[in-house]
Structures are given as C-alpha cells and as structure tokens.
Amino acid sequence: MMIEEPILPQLPDFEEYIQQGEPDRRQRAENWQIAIGLQAVDGLHTSEYLQQTARQHIEGKISIKEVQELVKTYYVSKSVRTDGDNDTEEADRVASNITALLGETTFALTYAGLTAIHRRIFNGVFKFAGQIRDVNITKKEWVLDGDTVRYVSAPDLKLAIEYDLEQERNFNYSRLPMSEIVQHITKFVAGIWQIHPFREGNTRTTAVFTIKYLQNIEFEVNNDLFFQNSWYFRNALVRANYQNVQKNVDYSPQYLELFFRNLLMGEHNELRNRYLHIRWNTPTSTPASSLHNESNKFYTDNENIKRVVNVLGTQQMSVKELLVAVNLKDRKNFIEYSLNPAMKEGFVQMLYPENPKHPRQKYLLTIIGIGLFHETLTSTPITYNP
C-alpha cells in the first residue's frame, strides 16, 4: 500500500560554516539549522530573506537581536502581502527566536521554565505566547488517518506539568546503561508532549525544551537529527501517545526511541515517516513470515532470531559480545543459524552497513526488531536450536 507523505520544506545548507571548524560560526550555523528545520513540524517555510540574514549572523556581522529586529521590520514594511506571508512570517520569526534561545546556556526544569520557552519562541507571533491553554483541543494527524491524540484536559494542565517535571528532577541517571537512559528520556519527552499545554506550538516547544534539557545535564546531542528529522520527531511523539483498540493500534514508543538512540547513542536507525503511519505495511522486501500484518504486530516463529532480538534489544553488540550474551562459542553456527536469518528477515541491521568488515562493526535492532522486542518478547530464556 502506498502512503503519500506531505511535501516538507526545503532546508537551507549551512554546511560550509559547520565544516570550517571555527567554533562560534559552527555553533551558530548548527543552531540556525535546527531552528529552521523545526518549522517543518507544521509544514512552514522560511523565506530567502531570513536565510540570507541568518548567514550574516553566522558570519558574525550582526547579532541575533539585530536579526530579530530586521525580520520584524521586513514584514512590517511590506506594502503588498501574499496569502502565504503570514505563515512565512511565523516561520521566520520563530526560527530567529529559537536560534536566540539555543544560543543561551540558561535552563530551568520547572513549570515556569517550560512556559518561558514557549513565550520566547512565539514572542511577536501568538498573542497567547507563554500562556497555558484554557480550552480542550484536538489535532488531526496524518499518521493517524486524521484521528487525534487524547491530550490532557485544560483544568489539569498545570498539575500534570508540575508532576512530570518533579518526577524527572528526582530521577537518578547514575550507573544506568545508556539504553535504559534512552528509554527513560523517550518516556519523559513523550509524556511532556502529550500534555500539550499550549494552544499552538507544542512540538517546537518540546523540541527546544528537550535539546536544552539534554545539554543542561551534559549529554552530547547530535542536533542534526532535529534539523533533518523534525517531522519524524513529531510523528513519533504522536505514535507514542496514541491507542485505538478498535483499529488494533497500541501505544508505540519504539519509533521515538529510535530517534533518541540515533540522537544520543550515535546509531543509524532508518527514520522514515511512512513507517509511522497506522496503515503502513512492511515493505515487500521483508518476508511476510516475520509479521502478522492483520494485527499490526511484529512476529517471528524462529526461536534463534527471538533470542538474538532479546539480548540485542537495548544495546548494540559485536559478534563476540553476542556470542557471550547467548552463551555460545561456535561463531560460524551462530552467524549461519541466528544472526544472518535475523538480518535477512529485517529484525537486525549492521551499525556500518556500507562496510560489513568494519573493525568496530556492531549489530542493532531495526524498527521491526524493536517492535518485536517491545511487543512480543519477555526476559524468559529462549532455547537455542542450531
């Protein structure tokens, strides 16, 4: 079945500044890429004027405050406005506001901190910038065939935000393996987004809040992911918070977890929006035996594959590490009867697929593999049958 994806904006290329190596220019260019890329979550396009002005800021010719003032003046002074000018103005002003925020080191994991981020991002764009909504809302989502996530009720918003943030402040990350850290961050960010405290701009606010929070707790963040995959980020948040028993669709945080595994662990999981659509069928290159398509669940009856998926589920491992994990010594038999079938059926992939003999080659789960791990496997030992 063909799933038609909406056309996303063309993103600017600031790679020349990022590759130059000058730290200040590189950081400003990365911030602009993220800020402009995030407009894609609402299908917005920045103007050529904004991109030219951004280059002046990246090169250090003007300050970010001057950028914001120039953008404001540009639209105020337009004598003729087209139908798309309102959307473009929103994209330009929000992108410059996000760039300003990302250039600051301040952050507060509080209710006031979250609302301040929304106010700063949408200052001059929304009259309700920084204000918690007082009405209930719905949003028609492409990945849900026009259905909506059920958001928190307006009277409960402040309490819900304060509760989630208090739980996060009290969470102890020390001594946790990175895979568990990623799972926790996935759950935390999905929960904040599901509250949907503002009338508009929740995803862009959540993205900026997430970036600044991760930086604040000293995580190295590959922010290219927000630049290149901001719409995937939104759709993954949707799927993490959507359940429809009649359609046999369950909460699916594994897609968002893939994003964060790439972001924080340097993995190369494929992030395709069409995979998130509730009517998506696995590509025909994946054997039908690996899926129960009618139930939208991930499945295999190969016990050897199940065992590989079970031990690989929360990390990436070399063949040597996999052999230890499954308590086997015969490398040849393991590759022939377990690892190769797991890759052939689409559950496992190489970390460096373009170089199978890479000296640091490791293996990790695909989207299908993570689905199998989360939806059908348990910690119960699985018998190995060579």
Residue 291: beta bridge partners? 298
**What confidence score (pLDDT) does residue 79 get?**
80
Instruction: Please tell me the distance from the alpha carbon of residue 54 to that of residue 28, in angstroms, as a whole number.
Output: 9
- Residue 61 and residue 136 in one domain: no
- Write down the pTM of the prediction: 0.74
By the 10 Å C-beta count (0-12 exposed, 13-18 middle, 19+ buried), 170 is classed as exposed
**What confidence score (pLDDT) does residue 23 get?**
87
Q: Is residue 235 part of a domain?
A: yes
Phi-psi region of 168 (alpha: psi -120 to 50; beta: other; left: phi over 0): alpha
Q: Which of 104, 134, 168 is the last residue of a domain?
A: 104
**What confidence score (pLDDT) does residue 150 get?**
96
**What confidence score (pLDDT) does residue 358 get?**
85
**What confidence score (pLDDT) does residue 10 get?**
58
**CATH no. for residue 269?**
1.10.3290.10
**What confidence score (pLDDT) does residue 365 get?**
83
Instruction: Please tell me the distance from the alpha carbon of residue 114 to that of residue 344, in angstroms, as a whole number.
Output: 45
Q: Is residue 302 part of a domain?
A: yes
Q: Which is nearest to 168 in space by CA: 220, 210, 209, 109?
A: 109
For the chain, state the CA radius of gyration.
22
Q: Is residue 139 part of a domain?
A: yes
- Residue 193 and residue 267 in one domain: yes
- Residue 220 and residue 294 in one domain: no
The residue written with tokens 């002005």 in the block is: 53
Host domain of residue 298: 288-375
Give the number of residues written for the chain: 386
Q: Is residue 114 part of a domain?
A: no
Q: Which of 273, 298, 332 is the last residue of a domain?
A: 273
- Residue 243 and residue 134 in one domain: yes
- Residue 135 and residue 265 in one domain: yes
**What confidence score (pLDDT) does residue 11 get?**
61
Q: Is residue 384 part of a domain?
A: no
Number of domains in the chain: 3
Q: Is residue 83 part of a domain?
A: yes
Which residues, 6+ apart, have CB-to-CB distance to 222 below 8 Å? 262, 263, 264, 266
By the 10 Å C-beta count (0-12 exposed, 13-18 middle, 19+ buried), 6 is classed as exposed
Q: Is residue 242 part of a domain?
A: yes
- Residue 293 and residue 320 in one domain: yes
- Residue 316 and residue 253 in one domain: no
SS (H, E, C) the chain: CCCCCCCCCCCCCCHHHHHHCCHHHHHHHHHHHHHHHHHHHHCCCCCHHHHHHHHHHHCCCCCHHHHHHHHHHHHHCCCCCCCCHHHHHHHHHHHHHHHHHHCCCCCCCCHHHHHHHHHHHCCCCCCCCCCCCCCCCCCCCHHHCCCCCCCCCHHHHHHHHHHHHHHHHCCCCCCCCHHHHHHHHHHHHHHHHHHCCCCCCHHHHHHHHHHHHHHHCCCCCCCHHHHHCHHHHHHHHHHHCCCECCCCECCCCHHHHHHHHHHHHCCCCCCCHHHHCCCCCCCCCCCHHHEEHHHCEECCCCHHHHHHHHHHCCCCECHHHHHHHCCCCCHHHHHHHHHHHHHHCCCEEECCCCCCCCCCCCEEECHHHHHHHHHCCCCCCCCCCC
User: What is the block-wise mean pLDDT of the chain (386 residues), using blocks of 10 residues?
Assistant: 55 73 87 91 89 94 96 90 85 96 95 98 96 95 92 97 97 92 96 97 97 92 81 96 92 94 90 87 40 47 89 84 91 93 88 82 82 60 40
- Residue 144 and residue 251 in one domain: yes
- Residue 264 and residue 351 in one domain: no
Instruction: Please tell me the distance from the alpha carbon of residue 30 to that of residue 215, in angstroms, as a whole number.
Output: 14
- Residue 255 and residue 324 in one domain: no
- Residue 72 and residue 130 in one domain: no
Q: Which of 273, 304, 321 is the last residue of a domain?
A: 273
Q: Is residue 178 part of a domain?
A: yes
- Residue 75 and residue 149 in one domain: no
**What confidence score (pLDDT) does residue 340 get?**
93
Distance of CA 300 to CAs 206, 218, 284, 308, 328, Å?
Answer: 36, 39, 16, 12, 22
**CATH no. for residue 312?**
1.10.10.10
Determine how β-strand 291-292 pairs with β-strand 348-350. Answer: unpaired
Structure tokens at 189: 């960010």
